[in-house]
Structures are given as structure tokens and as C-alpha cells.
Amino acid sequence: MTSERWFFGGDLGVGRVGYGTMKLTGWPRGDAPDRDTALAILRRAVELGVDHLDTSNYYARAGVAANELIRTALHPYPAGLVIVTKVGALVEGDDLGRPAAEHTGLTPDGLRRGVEANLRTLGLDRLDVVNLRLGDRGHADAPLEPALETLMALRAEGLIRHLGVSNVDRDQVDRARKAADIVCVQNLYNIAARDDDPLVDACAEAGIAYVPFFPVGGFAPLTADALSTVAARHGASVPQVALAWLLARSPNIVLIPGTGSLAHLEENVAAGGLRLTGEDLARLG
């Protein structure tokens, strides 16, 4: 695993390869591993040196909740483990199936309920980092500043350590930084989806972590001849090369690949040690 580290807000140090827990629940769609496998994946991640977990209270489906799995597998939490969560239009997992007009998560009361639900289900007194997620279906025009004002008030109460934003464009990031101290941006970005290239660089210049979701394609896994060629050269998998490309792309990129497979977890973590050559990077474009 890579020895490189990033510090959220200058004080929360994490390795640049973390783990995203969404796939442990099959939320919002897809298969989930059985409970024993899910718990084993979380414990193995920590054994492998992963010290950054990404989750949310609304990652829950069919009675399986990511936060409950984390708490069962790892509480009391090892020293140095950073758990990043998020709040937004959704508070509970089944909110996804309700009309957008019934989503209350972006109201002051809803944001408090979301934060308190994450605290309760994770068994924490304070959340390390809370991302405000915007742009969900039916909420594309949700106001940014009032939500951040609420989260800043919750931070002042001691319930949150740092704040980030998710699913946002450059203008929203700029506005967010005027309203609050922002330590990370979590957006869609991978080797095949590079629209955020300018934002990655802007975050790097500002000392803000950029955390790509769907780093290996998500529900549409990445495929490309160049990826396969570079993977064969290194005796690696295509997802490993895609993750290594992200790590090489910019030092502020912090990864949270998710998986419901122990074998894929091992591969993802090992990708932190894969060093692409200049020739590799030129071929990947």
C-alpha cells in the first residue's frame, strides 16, 4: 500500500487508498455480500492499513446498513481511523423511493437529523468529516449556503470536525468555500470521466482533497484497450491501473473504492503500490 498520506483540514491524516462502504449494502441497487463477508471486509481493510472509511446513514437497503456494519466490525474504533460520512436530501435509505417533495434532508431539521443519525448508528460523539451532498434527483437547485450554515452551527456544537461537499460544480465549490471551511470535494471522476479536471487542479492549489466516487466506473466498469495493455505490462488488473492513474493524476486525490469482495479489496489496496511509468501515463492519455 502506498505510504503517501493526505491530511483533511491539515490534521486528519489518511492513506490515499481508503474504502467506500456503499456496496456492502447493495444500495441503491445491486447485490450485497452476506453479513459475515461484509464484516470480514471491514476488518480486513483495517488489517491492510486502510484508515479512511466513507459511509452514510442512508447507505441502507433491505435491513442492511453500512453504519451498523462498521460499528459491529470495528467499534471500539482503532486509533487513527477516519470515518467520513455525508448528509443531503436523503436521511434514510428508503427515502430514495419516495417523491422528491417528501425528502426533508436539506432542511435545518433534516440536516440535524442526518448528522445525529450518523453519530448514533456509528457510535460516535463527533463525526470526522461530513460531506454535504447536492444535486440529487429533484433537488438540483437546492440552496447551498443555508445548508452549510446549519452544518457550521452543528460543527460549533462539537458534532462535526470538518466539512466537505459532494456532487458539486466549480461555482458551488467556490461558493461553499466562502460559506465554510471546506476540506474535501467528492465528485464523479475517473480515467474515462474527466470533466472535473480543472476542479481537481483548483482543489490541489487550495489544499483541498479531491475524492472521486466511481473511481473504477461504478455500475459501468471501465474497459479500454490502453488500460488492458498497461495492466498486462504490470501484471495488474484493469481496476488497479485505473486507481493507480488517479493516484498519479494529482497528490490531493484520495481514493475510496468500494467492493463487496475480499479479493477485490486486496487488489484495490495493492493498487496503492503500483507505480505507472511515463510511458504508461502517455498511453492512458
Catalytic center residues: 59
- For residue 123, give the C-alpha cell: 457510535
H or E stretch at 87: strand 82-87
As a whole number of angstroms, the distance between CA 35 and CA 282 comes to: 42
Which of helix, strand or coil describes residue 69? helix
Q: Smallest Cα–Cα separation from 215: which of 236, 251, 242?
A: 242
Number of residues that this document lists for the chain: 285
Beta-bridge partners for 133 = 166
Q: Smallest Cα–Cα separation from 88: which of 147, 132, 142, 27?
A: 132
